Chains A and B, each alone.
Chain A
């Protein structure tokens, strides 16, 4: 089983069409990975599906980097 970090990066790569090797933990979706606002909405949708959770809108808005996504999922994932 892959760990959360790997799964998050895989989804980011798929959604934003970038190479996994370009994705660093500190990468910002918009500034570093070229996402637009709609991409970030889709990314959150994809995270919700992958990790079978619901991310409220006000939380979703705060997830702007890879590390923030990893942190959110780690803190909320059903054990």
Chain B
């Protein structure tokens, strides 16, 4: 099979479900060897099984991205076993929604730590290999909420907007080494994360989407696969909004 990403090693965090899983499958479908991470052993096995059933090249591993030592270890292991990571997709993320008045410091810190600091840390870890290879793609999954805002998500919106700013800084820093850094900002996508919302707020949200429906994880994955492909070589520092017209920048 001839794929656009043949011979590449891709690392996708938070790949056991939802958008991350679809991204992992899409990149593997283009020929990349994909390492997908999950926080649990059963999640990692799920990922491996998914690749196997689809006849694709990839495996699942256990990683909590907030554990710096574990990130170091896992990166070292991947470089040794699979080779230099040339595509990193920072997808792992959590929510701890609450109105700001009621939001606890712990909820703020947990979201910033997982959704912002870990993205920086993972990116820093892959830079060395990418710089030596004189090329690489870092793709961060942000959110429409980082641009539009959303009540109850001050922590999440701050983290996602933070990633977008960091993306632009890294794009400038690494551009001379042919490393591109971009964001894909999903809108309202049908995943476990959004299934947690009450029906009334789902309906209200759908009413604001020009295309009149939720997005599918595969529709985010397609945008990520594009940014990883040779065709996107001249795109860096940008946020690609994939939201059905829910928000237009």
Contacts and interface: CB of A to CB of B under 8 A. Distances in A.
Partners in one complex: yes
Contacts of B128: 45
Nearest to B131: A42
Find the residue from A38, A42, A45 having the highest chain B CB count within 10 A.
A38
Contacts, number: 11
Contacts of B176: 36, 38
Interface residues of B, number: 7
Interface string A34-78: 001010001001000000000000000000000000000000000
A42 B174 CA distance: 12
A42 B173 CA distance: 13
Nearest to A42: B131
Contacts of B177: 38
Contacts of B132: 42, 45
Interface in A10-53: 36, 38, 42, 45
A38 B131 CA distance: 10
A42 B132 CA distance: 8
A36 B172 CA distance: 13
A49 B66 CA distance: 28
Enumerate the 4 nearest inter-chain pairs by beta-carbon distance, A residue then B residue, closest first: A42-B131, A38-B176, A45-B128, A38-B173
Interface of A: 36, 38, 42, 45
11 contacts: A36-B176, A38-B131, A38-B173, A38-B174, A38-B176, A38-B177, A42-B131, A42-B132, A45-B128, A45-B131, A45-B132
